[in-house]
Amino acid sequence: MIVDIKNTTRKLCVIGDPVLHSKSPLIQNAMIRALGLDLVYLCQPVKRGEGAQWLTAARVCGYAGFNATMPFKEELLPLMDEVEPFARQCGAVNTVSIRDGKYYGANTDGPGFLQDLEKFGLSLQGLHTVVLGAGGASKAVCLALAEKGAKVTVCNRTVKKAEELCKLAPESMTPEEFTINKLCKLSGEAGLVVNCTSLGMAGTAGEFEDLSFVDALPSGAAVYDLIYAPAETALLRRSRERGLAVSNGLGMLVWQGVLALERFVGGPVDRERAHAAALEALGEG
Ligand code: ATR
């Protein structure tokens, strides 16, 4: 990836611990180049607990902004001068833009998920949705779905965490156990299933022990897996073989990046062009 760096070029980056696996530099530099922006996007390891020092360093070094991944999304929030409502609701920021010495926090994970979901053409209002998992990614997905009027059931191995999450929007979200019986029962009525657990992710030991709940889904249902490595998890394969609409999480990853770039430049960009350039860089174009 060749980026034309000039004396005027503003810096962006992703911070995390660990962060070297991040696809954000590839995605963002592809978009920056496609849009002809005078920006460069770097990978910046920052040690756990040093988020506050990094904020000062980024401002002093003239960064236009940065993305944050584990473990910084929560600890940055109280350090922002302004936070968008969705990020505040999530209690987490993944995008910080720096203007006139001030920090503006946003969370583009939820909006990025919704943007990618549009390809299914689902009407989310009142849609019965089963979300698997209750971690940080699940929180962004659940709150985004709830905001669009979906009826979300959050199934988590640790039910207590699902209960905590559902307290954020109790009128739209219900906690449940993560058992095959429960999943089969819920699937009968579900229009959408979203996997936000790490089950099926490359490099982790865990796989779904039983995917029979997929067979219980109505024929018009869609299955979205936030995992994109591997490109097709066992959950997606089983769902595709059943003829259901399926998607991995690559589109969400790209869309959250497009929406972050809009925060960094302080206005709209050519979204479709940016999205296409990022997918091409990822080898998916
Ligand atoms: P992220 O930030 O990607 O959301 P996370 O906060 O670590 O990651 O959340 C991982 C999710 O995967 C959690 O919901 C976790 O369930 P617990 O809350 O019970 O830990 C879920 N998960 C991980 N391994 C699992 C397994 N073997 N079976 C079921 N759920 C699992």
| 23 a catalytic residue | no
For domain 111-248, the CATH superfamily is NAD(P)-binding Rossmann-like Domain (3.40.50.720)
**Closest by CA position to 256, among listed 91, 137, 131:** 137
Number of helical H runs and strand E runs in the chain: 11, 12
Whether the domain at 10-107+251-281 and the domain at 111-248 fall into the same CATH topology = yes
Q: What is the pTM of this model?
A: 0.96
Residue nearest to atom 3 of ligand 1 (CA): 137
Per-residue pLDDT of 121-159, as tens digits, reads 999 999 999 999 999 999 999 999 999 999 999 999 999
Query: What does the domain layout of the chain look like in residue ranges?
Result: 10-107+251-281, 111-248
Where do the H-state alpha helices sit in 100-233?
109-117, 136-147, 159-166, 180-187
Question: Ligand 1: does its nearest atom lie under 6 Å from the Cβ of 135?
Answer: yes
Q: Residue for token digits 């779905």?
A: 145
> What's the rounded mean pLDDT across residues 49-62?
97
Residue % of the chain over a pLDDT of 70 = 99
Residue nearest to atom 12 of ligand 1 (CA): 197
> What's the rounded mean pLDDT across residues 262-271?
98
Instruction: Answer whether residue 204 shows pLDDT above 80.
Output: no
Residue % of the chain over a pLDDT of 90 = 96
Per-residue pLDDT of 7-54, as tens digits, reads 999 999 999 999 999 999 999 999 999 999 999 999 999 999 999 999
Question: Ligand 1: does its nearest atom lie under 6 Å from the Cβ of 74?
Answer: no
For domain 10-107+251-281, the CATH superfamily is Leucine Dehydrogenase, chain A, domain 1 (3.40.50.10860)
For position 203, what pLDDT does the model report?
85
